Amino acid sequence: MNADEILRRLDELRAADLPTHGGRTMAYVYDSGLADADELGKQALAMYASTNGLDPTAFPSLLAMERDLVGFARTLFHGADEVVGTVTSGGTESILLAVQAARDALPGATQPVMIVPTTIHAAFHKAAHYFGVERVSVPVDPVTKRANAAAMTAAMDTYGDRVVLVAASAPSYAHGVIDPIEAIASEALARGVRFHVDACIGGWVLPWAEHLGRDVPPWDFRVPGVTSISADLHKYAYTPKGVSLLLHATPYLRKSQYFASADWPGYTMLNATTQSTKSGGPLAAAWAVVNLIGDEGYRDLARTTFEGTAALVAGIEQQEHVRLVVRPDSSLVTLETDGACDVFTISDEMLMRGWFVQPQMSFGDMPASVHLTVSAATAPAVPEFLVALAESVRAAVDVGPIRIDEELRAAAIAIDPETLDDEAFDGLLALAGLGSGGGEVTVPERMAPVNALLDVAPPALREALLIAFLDRLSR
């Protein structure tokens, strides 16, 4: 293929993707609406695409940019001079490293445990799985959806010396509320346990919310007991993906994050992150965009974002059949229905009208909901969004909520995914509307029936089905 053919083919492939600009994709992407920032980010990404972050002595420019970004964040998060940080590939890697560093800091701890609220990001589940750390998930307040500090304290005492890390969110992804960081941090500090604040979403927007006079409870290094913070730049810093920051309160706390191996005949491997070789492009793009937008620019973007969030919240409160799950502390909004329709049909209807909203499955006593991420580019289109939402709700009410046969529901609950072979998974995927039964899978145009069926499946079965789906999809 020649260059023109390749570019034409890329355009054809890209046409099936969700839009990354315009503010209509309300999960996965963050759009500042600033064309100059987008263009500069692309140029920096291309300029540094071939550099390698494996060795900072070989590419000192990458080290300089990393120091600049960490310095910006240190000030932003009210950190002392001794706060240190690392640029990672995204929030999940930042969280993985925070858990790994906490575990490795106590090599004598047997059966290590981390204490988290049930609303903590699933990246902590992944870290527990990867690093052999038992995850103790503590139920959140059923009304506020915030972590229950007293219950988390009780869990710390129950597991005692086995606890290597406690974590909470600022804000939580599922509901957009800030956990009681001060209350949890004080108890962790009293017990000498590391406390990580997951501010992957809030880190680059909450500081400016405070500057704008919004009531933001303390969540950063001002709070005694906070030992580390994760904050993504490819979210509300609006940089190209994937760049996140992991900051530790002291160099000592970061020491166990590093990995080195000289026990082979090649170069001595020395890593600050999970990755070894990594392109310097995302780091350079983040450095360029952050320096272009700057403090005043981020304050303006935050103002626009919060104005849009307020308009969205007010509009949802005026709509029939949908309601807020909880009033958001930041720019993430979650809604549920009154039972006259279901969120999965609403999500399909919104997509037909050009809006991607993210359905969230039920969990315990929490019903299924719709997640909305508001970015600066979304704000001007909120009136249009509310019209589409009203139309989508009416359409969903007209067809009524999806009902799953009770026998099928009972069968799903009874299935042990550990007992299923590939043939059984093929059959279940076909039953769910995701396959033909012969090993081939498809993504249906309307996902509501699929999501409704997955919603009644216990988490273990849902996970197994979706792993089987992803496996077949990528073959």
CATH number, domain containing residue 195: 3.40.640.10
Per-residue pLDDT at 326? 97
| Amino acid (1-letter code) at residue 165 | L
Q: Is residue 5 one of the residues assigned to a domain?
A: no
Contact (CB, 8 A) for 185 and 196: no
Q: Which two tokens stand for residue 4?
A: 């023109």
Per-residue pLDDT at 223? 98
> What separation, in Å, do the N-terminal and C-terminal C-alpha atoms of the chain show?
24
Contact (CB, 8 A) for 357 and 371: yes
Q: Report how far residue 5's alpha carbon sits from residue 295's, in angstroms, rounded to the nearest whole number.
A: 42
Q: Report how far residue 184's alpha carbon sits from residue 197's, in angstroms, rounded to the nearest whole number.
A: 10
Q: Report how far residue 234's alpha carbon sits from residue 238's, in angstroms, rounded to the nearest whole number.
A: 5
Q: Is residue 30 one of the residues assigned to a domain?
A: no
Buried b / exposed e over 433-454, threshold 16 CB at 10 Å, is bbbeeebebeeeeebbbbbbbb
Cβ-based neighbours of 170, under 8 Å, separated by 6 or more: 178, 179, 181, 197, 198, 199, 202, 203, 206, 219, 220
Cβ-based neighbours of 10, under 8 Å, separated by 6 or more: none
Q: Report how far residue 245's alpha carbon sits from residue 229's, in angstroms, rounded to the nearest whole number.
A: 8
Rg, the chain, Cα only: 23
pLDDT digits (tens, 9 = 90+) for 363-410: 999 999 999 999 999 999 999 999 999 999 999 999 999 988 888 888
Q: Are residues 281 and 301 in the same domain?
A: no
Q: Are residues 214 and 251 in the same domain?
A: yes
Q: Is residue 192 one of the residues assigned to a domain?
A: yes
Q: Is residue 27 one of the residues assigned to a domain?
A: no
| Amino acid (1-letter code) at residue 242 | G
CATH number, domain containing residue 382: 3.90.1150.10
Q: Are residues 55 and 203 in the same domain?
A: yes
Q: Is residue 24 one of the residues assigned to a domain?
A: no
Per-residue pLDDT at 408? 80
Q: Are residues 238 and 103 in the same domain?
A: yes
Listed as ranges, residues in the chain with pLDDT below 50 are: none
Query: Considering 343, 377, 399, which residue would you say is the last residue of a domain?
Result: 399
Q: Are residues 360 and 283 in the same domain?
A: no
Q: Is residue 1 one of the residues assigned to a domain?
A: no
Selection from 451, 458, 421 nearest residue 434 by Cα:
451
Q: Are residues 61 and 151 in the same domain?
A: yes
Q: Are residues 261 and 327 in the same domain?
A: no
Q: Are residues 380 and 434 in the same domain?
A: no
Q: Are residues 311 and 345 in the same domain?
A: yes
Per-residue pLDDT at 271? 94
Task: List 163's β-bridge partners, or say none.
Answer: 113
- Residue 341 has phi, psi (to 5 degrees) of -155, 180
Q: Are residues 331 and 251 in the same domain?
A: no
Q: Is residue 138 one of the residues assigned to a domain?
A: yes
Q: Are residues 83 and 222 in the same domain?
A: yes
Query: Considering 256, 289, 322, which residue would you say is the last residue of a domain?
Result: 289
Q: Is residue 391 one of the residues assigned to a domain?
A: yes
Rounded to two decimals, the pTM is: 0.94
Q: Which residues constitute the domain of residue 366?
A: 295-399
Q: Report how far residue 321's alpha carbon sits from residue 341's, in angstroms, rounded to the nearest whole number.
A: 7
Q: Are residues 277 and 305 in the same domain?
A: no
- Give the sheet arrangement for strand 163-169, strand by strand: 84-88, 244-248, 228-232, 194-198, 163-169, 113-117, 134-138
Query: Considering 399, 427, 449, which residue would you say is the last residue of a domain?
Result: 399
Exposed / middle / buried, residue 123 (Cβ in 10 Å: 0-12, 13-18, 19+):
buried
How many domains does one find in the chain? 3
Exposed / middle / buried, residue 468 (Cβ in 10 Å: 0-12, 13-18, 19+):
buried
